Amino acid sequence: MKLSIQINEGPYNHEASNTALNFARAALDAGHEIFRVFFYHDGVNNGTRYTTPPQDDRNIIQSWTDLAKEKELDLVVCVAAAQRRGIVDEGEQQRNGKDGNNIADGFRISGLGQLIEAGIQSDRLVVFGD
Amino acid sequence: MAILHTINKSPFDKGSLDACVRLAVKGSSVLFIEDGVYGAMKGTAKSGVVEGAKGDLSFYVLGPDLKARGIDEDKLIDGVTVVDYDGFVKLTVDNDKVQAWL
Amino acid sequence: MSDIKKFMYVNRKAPYGTIYAWESLEVVLIGAAFEQDVSLAFIDDGVYQLVKGQNTKELGIKNFSPTYTALGDYDIKKIYVEKESLEARGLTVEDLMPLKWEDENEDYAEKDSIHVVPAKELAGILDDSDVLLNF
């Protein structure tokens, strides 16, 4: 089956991203396809490469980056939510005159249409949030 | 056309369990995840909600979230089935869509 | 080209205390361009999003409630409000913004978009949806 995931919260405040990651791994192990992981609301904060979590605990953002690379996942950070919260790629940096960018590897910034498309194209949409 | 309902908040924190049971059609499945797993415990002021709905809905609880919170399976309401993430995926696939009660 | 899916946007949170109400509306507006079968459901504190007379000037937060009145222009006319949630909060449909849409099949007659429905009926409507978005 084609599954898509929507994540509404950031990497650490809520369990959402952790649950979604474990769910995604289990789905892939069972042979399903993850069509897209869409990060909305504070979920866009999963897309920064500047976190330094303690060594003895999970590194959620690195885990998403690694899983995306290993399984060729499409990790999409919503552009409108990202602009509000300061998650920036090179294109957004130039468009909005910022002095840097912080998007993590494996993530891309795109519009809300990507979430709607995920709903249309997937067999299941699973939402993780607060 | 069956829904898998997920509940991720404690029934003492949010009205998500109440809303879910009120708005779930007979034959639906309900999976407690994250802090929602407290809703699966017997002997609480909210246990009656699940007890009363057991005839119409199938209840499940995510094992890893139970273990994290130190909840033994013998503390669960009778009839609630413990599943792991593989089971979560299977429930997602076996039902037609997922409704996340956040 | 995919078949048309029934998209249901579920709203359960009050406005302004968190951003979910506004950002979910932004999804609805973008989603309108995809020509799917769109419904909105307002349950629990979500019903507060539709209360009329919102004035945010002294908060300094944008008042986004006028956006609900524009939904009719996007052909979004299935706005379900759970009766039990309204009653528990001491509200009636009179407290809500009068959201309308124009029926081009009836000479553009103005009709109500809000449908107050009891839980049992809304349960069936949710069950009939294809994609359920929650915020």
* Dihedral of the alpha carbons of A44, A47, A50, A55, in degrees to the nearest 10: 100
Q: Is the pLDDT at C95 greater than 90, yes or no?
A: yes
Q: Of A50, A57, A55, A58, which is closest to residue A107 (Cα–Cα)?
A: A50
Distances in Å between the Cα of B102 and the Cα atoms of B13, B17, B36, B79, C60 are: 11, 10, 9, 24, 28
Q: Does B98 touch chain A (CB under 8 A)?
A: yes
Task: Considering only the beta carbons, identify the residue of A41, A120, A121 that sits closest to C20.
Answer: A41
Cβ–Cβ under 8 Å, residues A8 and C135: yes
Question: Which run of H or E residues covers position A38?
Answer: strand A33-39
In B21-60, the residues whose Cβ lies within 8 Å of chain A are 33-35
Asked if C127's CB is within 8 angstroms of B3's CB, the reply is yes
Residues paired with C41 in a beta bridge: C10, C80
Model confidence pLDDT, tens digit, residues C7-27: 999 999 999 999 999 999 999
Task: Considering only the beta carbons, identify the residue of C82, C119, C130 that sits closest to B97.
Answer: C130
Indicate the pLDDT class of residue C62, thresholds 50, 70 and 90: very high
Let me know if A109 is a catalytic residue. no
Indicate the pLDDT class of residue B73, thresholds 50, 70 and 90: very high
Residues paired with C116 in a beta bridge: C81
Cβ–Cβ under 8 Å, residues B77 and B42: yes
| Sign, CA torsion A80/A81/A85/A88 | negative
Q: Is the pLDDT at C1 greater than 80, yes or no?
A: no
Distance CA B42, CA B97 (A): 28
B62: tokens are: 């995510």
Check residue C3 and give its pLDDT. Answer: 80
Secondary structure letter of residue B24 according to DSSP: P
Residues paired with A110 in a beta bridge: A78
Q: Is A115 helix (H, G, I), strand (E, B) or coil?
A: helix
Q: C-chain residues within 8 Å CB-CB of A8?
A: 20, 135
Tens digit of each residue's pLDDT, chain A (130 residues): 999 999 999 999 999 999 999 999 999 999 999 999 999 999 999 999 999 999 999 999 999 999 999 999 999 999 999 999 999 999 999 999 999 999 999 999 999 999 999 999 999 999 999 9
Q: Is A117 helix (H, G, I), strand (E, B) or coil?
A: helix
Q: Of A32, A98, A17, A92, which is closest to residue A62 (Cα–Cα)?
A: A17
Q: Does A13 touch chain C (CB under 8 A)?
A: no
Distance CA A85, CA A41 (A): 9
Chains near B (3 or more Cβ pairs under 8 Å): A, C
| Sign, CA torsion C94/C97/C101/C102 | positive
Residues paired with C101 in a beta bridge: C111
Model confidence pLDDT, tens digit, residues B22-39: 999 999 999 999 999 999
The radius of gyration of chain B from alpha carbons, rounded to an integer in Å, stands at: 12
| Mean predicted confidence (pLDDT) in C44-54 | 98
State pTM to two decimals: 0.98
Distance CA A21, CA A5 (A): 10
Asked if C126's CB is within 8 angstroms of B23's CB, the reply is yes
Q: Does B20 touch chain A (CB under 8 A)?
A: no
Task: Considering only the beta carbons, identify the residue of A3, A16, A23 that sits closest to B85.
Answer: A23
Check residue B1 and give its pLDDT. Answer: 62
Catalytic residue from among A78, A87, A88, A115: A78
Indicate the pLDDT class of residue B10, thresholds 50, 70 and 90: very high
| Sign, CA torsion C54/C55/C61/C67 | positive
Q: Is C67 helix (H, G, I), strand (E, B) or coil?
A: helix
Helix axis angle for A60-71 and A16-29, nearest 10°, is 20
A123: closest CA of chain B, how far (Å): 8
Asked if A27's CB is within 8 angstroms of B89's CB, the reply is yes
C15: closest CA of chain B, how far (Å): 16
Q: Is the pLDDT at C84 greater than 90, yes or no?
A: yes
Cβ–Cβ under 8 Å, residues C99 and C112: yes
The whole-chain average pLDDT of chain C stands at 97
